[in-house]
Amino acid sequence: MSAITVTDLTKKFGSFTAVDHINFLVKDGEIFGFLGANGAGKTTAMRMLTGLLRPTAGTGIVAGYDIRKESEKVKANIGYMSQRFALYGDMTVDENIRLFGGIYGMTRREIQGKRDKLLDNLGLSTQRNSLVSTLPLGWKQKLAFSVSIFHSPRIVFLDEPTGGVDPASRRRFWEMIYEAAESGITVFVTTHYMDEAEYCDRVSIMVDGRIEALDTPGRLKEEYQVSSMDEVFQMIARKAQRTAD
């Protein structure tokens, strides 16, 4: 069974087609990299897949639910994290965990049962009553990721999760992604770091609202006869016709 099935998914804003008949499958347990230039339509596609935006045409099944007819069920069965907005800085570590657990539909008992283990795994037990704004960025990011998968979703969507982070934290973060994938959670991730594209099982590259390439990093490099995903990206994304606006 696939975690995400997208058929002819399309979104128009007035006369502008932001996402233009895209088709793809994401397998269960896969780390899927969703790449594209700024303005290629990634955010719009992601907003449709997470049930936040209604498609103009086409269908999408995410975690077994129809993004058009069952968007609330989609939301309850996925996790979401972005670098731009992750946690509430003026709430404590513990409060954030309880808030997001609650939002994702966990009961008080479930939250209590898993909370200590999570804090322990992250080495944050002694800081559970600290405001999130006082944590170093690398820790905040690990906590945000842990919170996004706290309710054991089938799929987690990560929107540029590592922007602006130092090289060592960026790598430790990817080790957490691997662990989540090993535990069976499907990972759907966007990034502008092309070394991170290499860590994905498969990647797609969007250009002007369409998916121009989709394969494993290894096969894409072979097909374009280059040695890195950065070169693959440069070759494909330079075909873009429309401006970033």
Partner 1 sequence: MDRMAIAAHGLKKHYGKVHALKGIDIDVGEGEIFGLIGADGSGKTSLFRILTTLIVPDEGTATVNGFDVVRDFWKIRKEIGYMPGRFSLYQDLTVRENLDFFATVFNTSIQENYDLIREIWVQLEPFSTRRAGALSGGMKQKLALCCALVHRPSVLFLDEPTTGVDPVSRKEFWTMLERFNREGISILVSTPYMDEAELCDRIALIEDGRILEIGSPGELSGRFTGDLWSINADRLNRLLPVLKKHPLVETCFSFGSSIHLTTEAGAVTEKDLISWLGHHGQGEVSIQHISPTIEDRFLSLSAEGEHR
Residues that bind partner 1 (CB under 8 A): 36-40, 136-138, 160, 163-169, 171, 174-175, 178, 182, 192-195, 198-199, 217-218, 228-230, 233-234, 237-238, 240, 243-245
Question: Please, which residue, 68 or 171, has the CB nearer to partner 1?
Answer: 171
**End-to-end alpha carbon distance in the chain:** 37
CA dihedral sign of residues 86, 47, 32, 213: negative
Half-sphere exposure of residue 152: CA atoms within 13 angstroms, side-chain side: 8
Task: Please enumerate, as own/partner, the contacts of 39-42 that have beta carbons within 8 Å and a separation of 24 or more.
Answer: 39/242, 39/243, 39/244, 39/245, 40/206, 40/207, 40/208, 40/209, 40/237, 40/240, 41/11, 41/206, 41/208, 41/209, 42/190, 42/206
Query: What backbone phi and psi angles, to 5 degrees, belong to 126?
Result: -75, -15
Question: Please, which residue, 3 or 31, has the CB nearer to partner 1?
Answer: 31
Question: Please, which residue, 40 or 49, has the CB nearer to partner 1?
Answer: 40
Q: Residue 164 has which token pair?
A: 């602006």
Query: Considering the complex, what minimum distance in angstroms separates the CB of residue 30 from partner 1?
Result: 13
Question: Please, which residue, 35 or 63, has the CB nearer to partner 1?
Answer: 35
Query: Considering the complex, what minimum distance in angstroms separates the CB of residue 102 from partner 1?
Result: 29
Query: Considering the complex, what minimum distance in angstroms separates the CB of residue 115 from partner 1?
Result: 26
Are the beta carbons of 231 and 223 closer than 8 angstroms? no
Query: Considering the complex, what minimum distance in angstroms separates the CB of residue 146 from partner 1?
Result: 18
Residue 131 is classified by DSSP as B
Query: Considering the complex, what minimum distance in angstroms separates the CB of residue 120 from partner 1?
Result: 19
Q: How far apart are CA 69 and CA 178, in angstroms?
A: 32
Question: Please, which residue, 57 or 137, has the CB nearer to partner 1?
Answer: 137
Question: Please, which residue, 7 or 228, has the CB nearer to partner 1?
Answer: 228
Query: What backbone phi and psi angles, to 5 degrees, belong to 118?
Result: -65, -45
Query: Considering the complex, what minimum distance in angstroms separates the CB of residue 142 from partner 1?
Result: 14
